Structure 1
Amino acid sequence: MKKLFIAVFGIVLTCGSLSAQEENTGAPNFTKMDSSPMDLALYRNQNEEPVARVIYSRPQKRDREVFGKLVPYGEVWRTGANEATELTLYKDMQVAGEKIPQGTYTLYTVPNEKEWTVILNKKTLTWGAYEYSSEQDLVRITVPVRKAPNDIEALSMAFQESGNGADLLIGWDDSYVKVPFEPTM
C-alpha cells in the first residue's frame, strides 16, 4: 500500500511539474476558436465615412432546425450567440421612418414565421437576452421574412446600399430580413 501511494504521488508530482514547465515556456496559451465566432458588418457612405456598425456572434446551423426550434418563434432573441448583438450608429439615422440618434444600442429581434420584430434597445453590454426590458426599447419595427436563395450555414449580417441609405440584411438557414436605414433629413 505504501509503495502504491508513493507511485501515485510520484506520478502526480511529475504531471504537475510538466504542466508548470509548459506554462513557463513563454509560449502564449491561446484559447480555441469559439464555436460562434464574433464578426462585424460595417456600412460606409460614398465618402468612406462610417455610418453604422453591427457586432455579433455567428452561431452555426450544424444540421439543426433553426427558426421555430433552436430560435423559438415569438420570443426575444439576442440575434446571434453569446453577448447580445450591438449596433452603433455614427450619425443620426432613420430606421423604417423612426429617427434614431447616433449612439450604441442592442439589437434584439423577435422572429416569427412570416415576420420579425426588430428592436433597438438602449441597454447595452448584455449577455443574451436575459436582461432585456421593453422599457429600454427605443424603437420596434416589423419586417417581412424573405426566402434566401441558398442555405445560410452561419448567422450572417451585411449592409446593402438601398436608395438613400442601406438595408441591414440578417440571414440564417433558409431566410433573411431587411432592416432599412436612411440618413435623417
Structure 2
Amino acid sequence: MKKTLLLISFISLIAFSSQAQDFRGPDKSSMDMAYYPDNFAHDRKGSDEALARVIYSRPKKNDREIFGKLESYGKVWRTGANENTEIKLYKDATVAGKKLKAGTYSLFTIPGESEWTIIFSSALDYWGAYSYKEDKDVLRVTVPSKKVADTIEYFSIVFAKSGANGATMSLGWDKTVVDVPFTF
C-alpha cells in the first residue's frame, strides 16, 4: 500500500510539473531603462561609473492628443505608464540648482503648457500616480517645456552630457520635450 501511494504521489508530481506555467501577457507599454552615462550598462569602459538610472514604462501616442488631453495640464502624472517611474542617483546631485541626495526616488511630473514641475518622491513601488502623496516629496523643481517638430511616438527618457560635471535628462513624448539639468 505504501509503495502504491508513493507511486501515485510521484506520478501526480510529474503530471503537475509538466503543465504549462501561467504567465501574464506583455504590458502594452514596455519597460525601459535610461542610464547616465548614456547606455552605461552596455558600454562600460574602464573607470566609467553610473551616476543615474531611470526605470520607466513607455506608453505609445497611438494618434491620441497627449498633453492637455490624455495627461491633463496641472495634474500629477506618473511620468510614463504602469508603475511609477523610478530614478536612482548613485551620487549626490544638484537638479535644476537644488541639491538632492544619492538614493532611489519615484519620479512624478506635473505637465504644463510652458513649464513642468519635476517631483522626486520617497514613496516607491506604486502603480501610477493614484496613491501620490505630496508629503512624500523630497524635491520639486520647475523646468521649461518646448515643442518639437517631429512626433515622438513612444514616451522616452534619455541622458546627455552637459558641461564638465553635468547631464541633461530629457523627457519626450508627442511633440513635447522637457530638459532637466543635473550636476554631479
Question: Is residue 175 from structure 1 mapped to residue 176 from structure 2 by the alignment?
Answer: yes
Deviation for aligned residue 1:32: 3.0
| 1-structure distance, mates of 2:33, 2:57 | 8
The corresponding residue for 1:32 is: 25
In the TM superposition, what are the counterparts of 1:11-50 in structure 2 within 5 Å? 30-44=23-37, 47-50=47-50
Conservation of the 8 A alpha-carbon contact between 2:59 and 2:154: yes
The corresponding residue for 1:62 is: 62
Q: Helix, strand or coil: the match of 1:135?
A: helix
Deviation for aligned residue 1:26: 5.4
Instruction: Give structure 2 stretches of 5+ with no counterpart.
Output: 1-15
The corresponding residue for 2:78 is: 78
Deviation for aligned residue 1:151: 0.6
The corresponding residue for 1:4 is: none
The corresponding residue for 2:127 is: 127
Deviation for aligned residue 1:33: 2.6
Q: Report the AA paired with residue 32 of structure 2.
A: D
Let me know the Cα RMSD of the aligned residues.
Answer: 1.8
| 2-structure distance, mates of 1:29, 1:62 | 29
In the TM superposition, what are the counterparts of 1:149-168 in structure 2 within 5 Å? 149-163=149-163, 164-168=165-169
Paired positions, count: 161
Question: Is residue 90 from structure 1 mapped to residue 90 from structure 2 by the alignment?
Answer: yes
Q: Helix, strand or coil: the match of 2:51?
A: strand
Structure with higher Rg: it is 1
| 1-structure distance, mates of 2:148, 2:167 | 19
| 2-structure distance, mates of 1:48, 1:156 | 24
Q: Helix, strand or coil: the match of 1:87?
A: strand
The corresponding residue for 2:5 is: none
Instruction: Give structure 1 stretches of 5+ with no counterpart.
Output: 1-22
Q: Helix, strand or coil: the match of 2:60?
A: coil
Q: Helix, strand or coil: the match of 1:88?
A: strand
The corresponding residue for 1:107 is: 107
Percent identical residues: 52
Question: TM-score, normalized by length of structure 2?
Answer: 0.82
The corresponding residue for 1:147 is: 147
Q: Report the AA paired with residue 87 of structure 1.
A: I
Deviation for aligned residue 1:149: 3.9
Q: Helix, strand or coil: the match of 1:50?
A: coil
| 2-structure distance, mates of 1:137, 1:29 | 38
| 2-structure distance, mates of 1:34, 1:131 | 21
